[in-house]
């Protein structure tokens, strides 16, 4: 299995490095991703999903060190939440840095999640930066709970579909926590 993952990481890396988009498995739902610094690729994902460009997308990272590279100030209590949380959790941070403005919301906010998926971890390590991660569905439609439910329009329009279909398809979206400007924390989902 490790060999298959390595091969798929290399294929996905080549596509993303050339400005392409991929459909790939995560620890939650299947995602569409690209390089978070490639505006053309990001715009392409908005187009593929038929998503408004004022609706920001999140990124996945492989560890807390990478979070620190893209967020100016991280409250200590957030680090405790991340360390002690056993379920996938996306955190919306304010005052991001080093990332495309096309992914940002108000106050330069960005959603980041530390991924536990082996494929994603290896790809992010090889990229040396986060990976855009938005659910592989048309905007406004239900997130798909398995690969076979992904709209064929999406599969035709991305540049590569990672060949790691598994029995572990999940419809579990991540929890979402937002850090407010006053430093308080709000649970969104």
The whole-number pLDDT of residue 9 equals: 98
Total domains, the chain: 1
The whole-number pLDDT of residue 129 equals: 96
Q: What is the CATH number of the domain that holds 74?
A: 3.90.870.10
The whole-number pLDDT of residue 167 equals: 46
Which of 165, 164, 166, 162 lies closest to 14 in space, CA to CA?
A: 162
Which of 100, 81, 88 lies closest to 179 in space, CA to CA?
A: 81
User: Which residues in the chain come in under a pLDDT of 70?
Assistant: 1-2, 165-171
Domain coverage including residue 88: 2-187
Contact status, residue 24 vs residue 156, Cβ threshold 8 Å: no
The whole-number pLDDT of residue 187 equals: 87
Which of 32, 17, 174 lies closest to 111 in space, CA to CA?
A: 174
The whole-number pLDDT of residue 138 equals: 95
pLDDT digits (tens, 9 = 90+) for 155-178: 999 999 999 965 455 557 788 899
Contact status, residue 59 vs residue 45, Cβ threshold 8 Å: no
Quote helix, strand, coil % in the chain, to nearest 5: 35, 20, 45
The whole-number pLDDT of residue 116 equals: 93
The whole-number pLDDT of residue 171 equals: 59
CA distances from 67 to 83, 98, 99, 109, 113 (A): 13, 11, 12, 13, 9
Nearest 5°: the CA angle 12, 162, 117 is 90
The whole-number pLDDT of residue 4 equals: 93
């Amino acid at each position: 299995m490790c060999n298959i993952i390595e091969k798929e990481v290399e294929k996905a890396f080549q596509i993303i490095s050339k400005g392409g988009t991929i459909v790939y498995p995560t620890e939650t739902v299947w995602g569409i991703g690209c390089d978070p610094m490639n505006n053309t690729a990001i715009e392409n994902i908005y187009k593929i999903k038929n998503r408004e460009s004022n609706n920001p997308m999140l990124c996945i990272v492989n560890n807390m060190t990478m979070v620190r590279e893209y967020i100016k100030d991280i409250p200590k209590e957030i680090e405790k939440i991340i360390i002690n949380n056993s379920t996938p959790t996306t955190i919306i941070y304010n005052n991001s840095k080093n990332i495309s403005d096309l992914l940002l919301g108000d106050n330069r906010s960005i959603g980041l999640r530390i991924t536990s998926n082996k494929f994603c971890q290896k790809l992010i390590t090889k990229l040396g930066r986060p990976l855009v991660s938005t659910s592989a569905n048309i905007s406004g439609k239900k997130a798909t709970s398995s690969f076979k439910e992904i709209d064929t329009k999406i599969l035709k329009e991305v540049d590569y579909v990672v060949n790691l279909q598994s029995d572990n398809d999940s419809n579990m979206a991540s929890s979402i926590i937002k850090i407010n400007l006053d430093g308080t924390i709000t649970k969104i989902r």
